[in-house]
Structure 1
């Protein structure tokens, strides 16, 4: 392998060097040139990390994150505690980092990216004053693009915002000031549905329009392309989106989740290995139930296989939360936070 000045390093030797580096360093080095990117992508695949259950409880002055052991589900550690007077909400998690949103009773809105394992945390620059008091309302997402190696925070404004065809994107540029910009597209004109939430998957952020009849996809790569496509024709079955968020996207119904009316099936679904999580309506009790296969199906997309769950639910948390409970699939890491210039 040779660079523009003629310096040559055998590919095998370069690969051995990359394999000795932390995953975070490899993500940065793959941006140096195409040769390095190909060597890292093709010969140093990222190891599959076993995810753990992270339960985040949002409550004034006592928001906290709890990480459960990935084997028995019982041993747990308090990964994050908040003592601010506002209600801290967890936006999402990428590569072992978590993104938090703290909105107090006023107009102040603080976004923080943290590594709960190392204790590192960095507060991102506040939104521009021109966005007004509505800047703290709406939906937030935390995304990572594998090609650019950059993290981004996306804010989808509420339907009361001054314009409905724009979203706000904050890019965490390692070593440089965080870059904010407003992405405008006709595909964004449907506002958002606050009851459906927002998801970040494989370099794109997805949310439902206000009528829940369409899905909007924002590619968090350099071009920040926006597309829109029809939503799946149901909310209780599990639908899988094929071919990403482009124009050729197609929905396939793969499973049906059936649960008693006394419990809530926690989302995101099917992200905790062989377990499905459920919670009591008051959020005080969190349980997991093991999957034991699927029922019969005739292959028709309209009659997906119902998931078969083991008998009895295993309780992994029982306490008075007095707050809003959400669950995430979390992969621990000791990678450093991306630096945010000022």
Structure 2
């Protein structure tokens, strides 16, 4: 029991330090010039400017162009259609508290939720009707992995809030799975707005879960899958797989055959990848946004420096 308490205390200190670093890096840097009036017009690559925390954009066809930075500050940012979501940790809050900002096509705030935890992942469903997120939280004594997560979503059209999907019934090997340490993270929705995928972590194993939102149940498809990202055509999932302690390899899974392809990126990618289109995957790595072909060909391309949390408008 003493070891468990000490471990939890250590985890809390690590999370607190991460929160303090995030807040400091976002609010104690020099301002990066006048704010641009950004909109969710098509053909843009959005990102989080790591020096200022502000949301910026460049033309997708010319990522080397001078970025335009908005006044909006986020720790995670995502877009789809005419909806965006911004996760912003509140400064000076311990345990951490995050504002989930649901934004319109002009990046105006249309809804806000305030939830416990530190921002980890954010996405918007392809139809723009749902935003979803993952937050790191503390205080769960059952967490054997050293952290605990809350994956939730908000229905933009109905106003329904699902603070966590932990109660999602999931079947592993045909049997309903029960465990006290179940965590979910990295939600990604199909174009139909109903089928979705997420990571289930439990007892040291991670699973790719395919779920039906309407029926609210899911099944495990494969082990060692984290932070899935569904391709625009709904046929493949880009994800990170663990290949060593603290080391992940970017991979792409064909959902029909369950065949796996490794893109040409050989460095450790600890991010939820994003599909630029059906052929190219984007991700944050080494303080920059990169692109790589999903089929294993070519080589990684550095698109924007001083950037993270990529998002694209179609």
Shorter-chain TM band: 0.5 to 0.7
2:103 equivalent among 93, 114, 135? 114
1:251 aligns with 2:234: no
1:206 aligns with 2:202: no
Q: Find the counterpart in structure 1 of residue 253 from structure 2.
A: 240
How much has 1:153 moved relative to structure 2? 3.0
How much has 1:95 moved relative to structure 2? 1.9
1:268 equivalent among 248, 269, 273? 273
Q: Find the counterpart in structure 1 of residue 35 from structure 2.
A: none
1:327 aligns with 2:310: yes
Equivalent position SS for 1:307: coil
Q: Deviations over 1:35-81 (max 9, x none)?
A: xxxxxxxxxxxxxx97543222356xx31222221223323543533
Equivalent position SS for 1:216: strand
TM-score, structure 1 as length reference: 0.51
* Conserved? CA contact 2:54–2:69, under 8 Å: yes
Q: Deviations over 1:71-96 (max 9, x none)?
A: 2332354353335xxxx322532224
How much has 1:111 moved relative to structure 2? 0.5
Cα 1:138–1:215 change in 2 (3 A) is: farther
* Conserved? CA contact 2:78–2:84, under 8 Å: yes
The separation in 2 between residues aligned to 1:180 and 1:267, in whole angstroms, is 21
Cα 1:269–1:307 change in 2 (3 A) is: farther
Cα 1:178–1:57 change in 2 (3 A) is: same
The separation in 2 between residues aligned to 1:206 and 1:143, in whole angstroms, is 14
Q: Find the counterpart in structure 2 of residue 339 from structure 1.
A: none
Q: Deviations over 1:119-154 (max 9, x none)?
A: 322342334xxxxxxx324755444386xx842435
* Conserved? CA contact 2:48–2:54, under 8 Å: yes
Cα 1:237–1:252 change in 2 (3 A) is: farther
Q: How does 1:271-286 map to 2 (within 5 A)?
A: 271-272=276-277, 281=286, 283=287, 285-286=288-289
Q: Which has the higher strand share?
A: 2
* Conserved? CA contact 2:58–2:68, under 8 Å: no
1:191 equivalent among 182, 185, 190? 182
Structure 1 vs Structure 2 CA RMSD: 4.4
* Conserved? CA contact 1:159–1:192, under 8 Å: no
The separation in 2 between residues aligned to 1:170 and 1:280, in whole angstroms, is 26
1:101 aligns with 2:87: yes
Q: Find the counterpart in structure 2 of residue 227 from structure 1.
A: 219
How much has 1:331 moved relative to structure 2? 1.1
How much has 1:280 moved relative to structure 2? 6.3
How much has 1:222 moved relative to structure 2? 3.7
Q: Aligned pairs, how many?
A: 232
Equivalent position SS for 2:106: coil
The separation in 1 between residues aligned to 2:262 and 2:159, in whole angstroms, is 46
Cα 1:181–1:222 change in 2 (3 A) is: farther
Q: Find the counterpart in structure 2 of residue 17 from structure 1.
A: none
The separation in 2 between residues aligned to 1:77 and 1:241, in whole angstroms, is 35
Q: Based on CA coordinates, which of the two structures has the bigger radius of gyration?
A: 1
2:49 equivalent among 57, 79, 88? 57
Specify every segment of 5 or more residues in structure 2 that has no aligned partner in the other structure, as ranges: 1-40, 171-177, 226-240, 243-248
The separation in 1 between residues aligned to 2:209 and 2:71, in whole angstroms, is 33
The separation in 2 between residues aligned to 1:81 and 1:160, in whole angstroms, is 34
2:209 equivalent among 211, 216, 222? 216
TM-score, structure 2 as length reference: 0.55
